[in-house]
C-alpha cells in the first residue's frame, strides 16, 4: 500500500448547500493539508454530513468550489474524485462476500487480477478480518461490518478518506477500540481523513483539527487544545463540555477580568472574547472546574482560592465511579452541574467555588442558551471506562 494519488492540499472555498429554501451549509472555508485528520463536529442537523457529502460528490454544491491543489473537483462525479468513504450504516453490498466488497473498487479500476487479490488480502489483514473473508455482511457483527467498510474505503489508497459518523452504531467499548484503530490506520497509511461526528470526545481525541458547525455555519476551526481551552463562543463552549451556561449581565470589564451579575450572583470571570460592561453575556464553566466545599468547613480556605463562592443546595447526586456528578441549586434557583470526588448527599448545603480563570464570559449574541445545558446527560465514555 504505497502508491497514492496524493495532493498537497484540498481547499473548500465558500462551500454552501441549500435544500429548498434552507441553508444546510453556508460559507465553509477550509484548507485540508495532506495527512491531516479533520473532524467536523456539531449537533445533528448542523450541516456536517452535508459538508461530507458535498466533498464526496454525492451532493452538488449550491455555491462555492472545491479545489484539489489547482484542480477544481466540485464538478466531478463521485466516481472520478477518488475519495474513499465510510458510511454511517456502512452500506456494505449485502450480496457480496467480505472479499468481494473489498475488491469491488479495485475491480472498478480494472487492475490485474493478481494485484486485486493481493491488495484485497492486505486490506483485510489490516482490519484483522482474515477468517471472515468468505462471509456475507449479514453474517458479521456491527464491529466487523465497520471494519469491512473501512477496508473497502482504504484499499483504493484514496487521497482522502471521508467518514460519516462511522462509530455511532457501535457499543461504547467497541467504539473506544475502533477509535484507536481508525487513528492507527490513518497514521500508518499516511491518509488524509475527514471525519464527521457529534461526539466531542471522539473529535477531540482523534482529530488534528476540528471544525465546529452549527446550523450550517462554521463556529470555530482549530486544534483540539484551542477548542478545549478557548472556545470561540458559547455555542462551541456548550459543545466542549461547558455544561453550565448562565445568562448574566456584565457590569465591569477591565484588566482584572469581567464582573458579571444576575440571579443574585456576582461573579468574576475571564473574557473569552471582547466583552464590555453593560452587555448581556453568557458565562460558561465546566462541571469538573467547580470545587464543592461543605458549607461549614473553613470559609477562609475558599476565599484564599480567589474564586467565586456560590452557596447552593445539593439536589441530585449520580455515582460515576471515581467521582460524583452533582446537581446543586442556588437560592435564586440556578442549577449548577458539578463533578466532585467528595461524597455529598441530596439536601447538603455546600459552597461552590468557581475559579475566576475557569469562568469564561462570552457575549450573548442574538440567541439564548437553552435552559438545560447542551451536553448530553449520559455519563461520557471515559468515565464509564475508568470505573
Partner 1 sequence: MSTATSRSTPPTGLSRRHRLAERGIDSQLLLLVPALVFVLGLFIYPFLYGLGLSFQPTNGGGAFADYQRFFTDAFQRDTIWKTLRLAIPAALFNVLASVPIAYRMRGRFRGKRLITTLLVVPITLGTVLTAEGLLNFLGPAGWFNRTLQAIGLIDQPLRLINNYWGVFFSLVITGFPFAFLLILSYLSGIDPTLERAAATMGADWKARFRRITLPLLAPGLATTFCLTFVLAFSVFPSAILVGNPTGETRVISIAAYQAAYEQYDYPFASAIAMIMGAVELIVIAVVLVWRSRFYKGATGGKG
Taking a C-beta distance cutoff of 8 angstroms, is the pair 164, 39 a contact? Answer: no
Min. distance of Cβ 139 from partner 1 in angstroms?
10
Helix (H) or strand (E) holding 236: helix 234-239
Min. distance of Cβ 193 from partner 1 in angstroms?
14
Residue nearer to partner 1 on the CB measure, 58 or 335: 58
Residue nearer to partner 1 on the CB measure, 105 or 224: 105
Min. distance of Cβ 153 from partner 1 in angstroms?
8
- Helices 113-126, 142-154: crossing angle, 10 deg rounding: 140
Cα–Cα distance for residue pair 147/153, rounded to 1 Å: 10
Which strands, in side-by-side order, build the sheet including 307-319? 291-294, 349-355, 307-319, 324-330, 335-340
Angle (nearest 5°) at CA 95 between 100 and 51: 80
Residue nearer to partner 1 on the CB measure, 6 or 215: 6
Min. distance of Cβ 117 from partner 1 in angstroms?
17
Min. distance of Cβ 111 from partner 1 in angstroms?
11
Cα–Cα distance for residue pair 182/175, rounded to 1 Å: 10
DSSP-based helix, strand, coil % in the chain, nearest 5: 30, 35, 35
Residue nearer to partner 1 on the CB measure, 91 or 133: 91
Min. distance of Cβ 257 from partner 1 in angstroms?
50
Min. distance of Cβ 175 from partner 1 in angstroms?
21
The backbone torsions φ and ψ at residue 197, rounded to the nearest 5 degrees and listed phi first, read: -155, 160
Cα–Cα distance for residue pair 70/236, rounded to 1 Å: 33
Residue nearer to partner 1 on the CB measure, 158 or 284: 158
Min. distance of Cβ 93 from partner 1 in angstroms?
6
Residue nearer to partner 1 on the CB measure, 55 or 258: 55
Binding site for partner 1 (CB under 8 A): 56-58, 77-85, 87, 89, 91-95, 104-105, 108-109, 136, 138, 152-153, 156, 162
Taking a C-beta distance cutoff of 8 angstroms, is the pair 375, 243 a contact? Answer: yes
Residue nearer to partner 1 on the CB measure, 11 or 152: 152
Residue nearer to partner 1 on the CB measure, 149 or 236: 149
DSSP secondary structure code for residue 289 in this structure: G
Q: Is 3 exposed, middle or buried (0-12, 13-18, 19+ CB in 10 A)?
A: exposed
Taking a C-beta distance cutoff of 8 angstroms, is the pair 342, 324 a contact? Answer: yes
Amino acid at each position: 500500500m504505497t502508491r497514492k494519488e496524493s495532493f498537497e492540499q484540498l481547499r473548500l472555498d465558500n462551500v454552501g448547500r441549500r435544500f429548498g429554501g434552507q441553508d444546510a451549509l453556508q460559507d465553509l472555508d477550509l484548507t485540508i493539508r495532506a495527512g491531516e485528520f479533520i473532524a467536523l463536529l456539531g449537533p445533528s442537523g448542523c450541516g456536517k454530513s452535508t459538508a461530507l457529502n458535498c466533498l464526496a460528490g454525492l451532493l452538488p454544491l449550491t455555491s462555492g468550489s472545491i479545489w484539489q491543489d489547482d484542480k477544481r473537483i466540485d464538478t466531478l462525479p463521485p466516481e472520478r474524485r477518488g475519495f474513499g468513504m465510510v458510511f454511517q450504516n456502512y452500506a456494505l453490498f449485502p450480496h457480496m462476500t467480505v472479499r468481494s466488497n473489498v475488491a469491488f473498487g479495485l475491480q472498478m479500476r480494472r487492475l490485474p487480477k493478481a494485484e486485486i487479490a493481493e491488495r484485497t488480502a492486505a486490506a483485510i489483514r489490516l482490519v484483522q478480518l482474515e477468517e471472515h473473508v468468505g462471509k456475507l455482511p449479514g453474517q458479521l457483527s456491527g464491529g466487523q461490518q465497520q471494519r469491512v467498510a473501512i477496508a473497502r474505503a482504504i484499499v483504493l489508497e484514496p487521497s482522502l478518506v471521508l467518514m460519516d459518523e462511522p462509530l455511532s452504531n457501535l457499543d461504547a467499548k467497541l467504539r473506544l477500540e475502533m477509535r484507536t484503530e481508525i487513528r492507527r490506520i490513518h497514521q500508518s497509511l499516511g491518509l488524509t481523513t475527514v471525519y464527521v461526528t457529534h461526539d466531542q470526545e471522539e473529535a477531540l481525541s482523534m482529530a488534528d483539527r476540528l471544525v465546529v458547525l452549527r446550523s450550517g455555519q462554521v463556529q470555530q476551526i482549530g486544534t483540539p487544545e484551542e477548542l478545549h481551552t478557548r472556545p470561540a463562543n458559547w455555542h462551541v463552549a456548550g459543545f466542549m463540555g461547558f455544561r453550565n451556561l448562565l445568562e448574566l449581565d456584565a457590569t465591569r470589564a477591565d484588566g482584572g477580568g469581567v464582573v458579571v451579575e444576575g440571579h443574585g450572583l456576582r461573579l468574576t470571570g475571564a473574557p473569552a472574547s471582547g466583552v464590555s460592561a453593560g452587555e448581556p453575556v453568557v458565562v460558561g464553566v465546566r462541571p469538573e472546574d467547580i470545587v464543592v466545599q461543605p458549607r461549614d468547613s473553613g470559609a477562609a480556605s475558599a476565599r484564599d482560592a480567589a474564586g467565586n463562592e456560590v452557596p447552593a443546595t445539593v439536589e441530585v447526586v449520580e455515582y460515576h465511579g471515581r467521582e460524583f456528578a452533582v446537581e446543586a441549586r442556588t437560592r435564586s434557583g440556578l442549577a449548577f452541574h458539578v463533578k466532585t470526588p467528595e461524597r455529598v448527599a441530596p439536601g447538603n448545603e455546600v459552597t461552590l467555588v468557581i475559579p475566576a480563570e475557569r469562568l469564561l464570559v462570552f457575549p450573548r449574541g442574538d440567541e439564548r442558551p437553552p435552559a438545560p445545558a447542551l451536553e448530553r446527560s449520559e455519563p461520557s465514555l471515559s468515565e464509564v471506562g475508568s470505573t
